[in-house]
């Protein structure tokens, strides 16, 4: 097995598993990670969300449109700035974010089942280094 194959396969499996668990929420691909990001960055701009979630600018608009239609977020212009929207979670969005967070934690526990806390920490440390190495400059 090669690194790239395992990385792509695990991403696909993880995403499929996540969306299967979330099927009753009507969330679509991309929306859970936006809710996760907004947990700590409520009021971020669309551009900030797109960058942090590694979503293309055109795609983030579609993702946010869907979230707004479901009543999970609202977009507002602040300080008279007509060029950018700030995105805020609604109460419904906050409830959904908590559900998504619980599911992320559940999936993470399943993922690391049978692996000691020490090995888990070592893996995450190395995986973070890999992440930093491949971030576009």
CATH number, domain containing residue 115: 1.10.10.10
Q: What does the pLDDT average to over 2-16?
A: 94
DSSP secondary-structure letter at 84? -
**Closest to 134 in 3D by CA, of 3, 21, 37:** 3
Specify the number of domains making up the chain.
1
pLDDT in tens, 66-110: 999 999 999 998 877 777 889 999 999 999 999 999 999 999 999
- Helices 91-111 and 3-21, axial angle in degrees (round to 10): 130
The mean pLDDT value of the chain amounts to 93
Domain that holds residue 36: 3-134
Cα dist from 51 to 22, 25, 45, 59, 73, whole Å: 24, 25, 10, 11, 18
pTM of the full predicted structure?
A: 0.86
Q: Show the tokens assigned to 58.
A: 């055109």
């Amino acid at each position: 097995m090669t690194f790239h194959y395992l990385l792509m396969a695990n991403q696909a499996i993880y995403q499929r598993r996540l969306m299967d668990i979330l099927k009753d929420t009507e969330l679509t691909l991309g929306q859970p990670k936006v809710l996760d990001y907004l947990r700590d960055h409520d009021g971020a701009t669309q551009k900030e969300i797109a960058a942090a979630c590694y979503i293309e600018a055109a795609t983030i608009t579609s993702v946010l449109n869907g979230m707004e239609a479901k009543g999970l977020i609202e977009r507002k212009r602040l300080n008279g700035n007509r060029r950018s929207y700030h995105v805020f979670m609604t109460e419904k969005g906050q409830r959904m974010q908590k559900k998504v967070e619980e599911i992320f934690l559940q999936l993470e526990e399943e993922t690391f089942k049978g692996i000691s806390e020490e090995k888990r920490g070592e893996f995450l440390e190395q995986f973070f280094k890999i992440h930093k190495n491949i971030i576009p400059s």
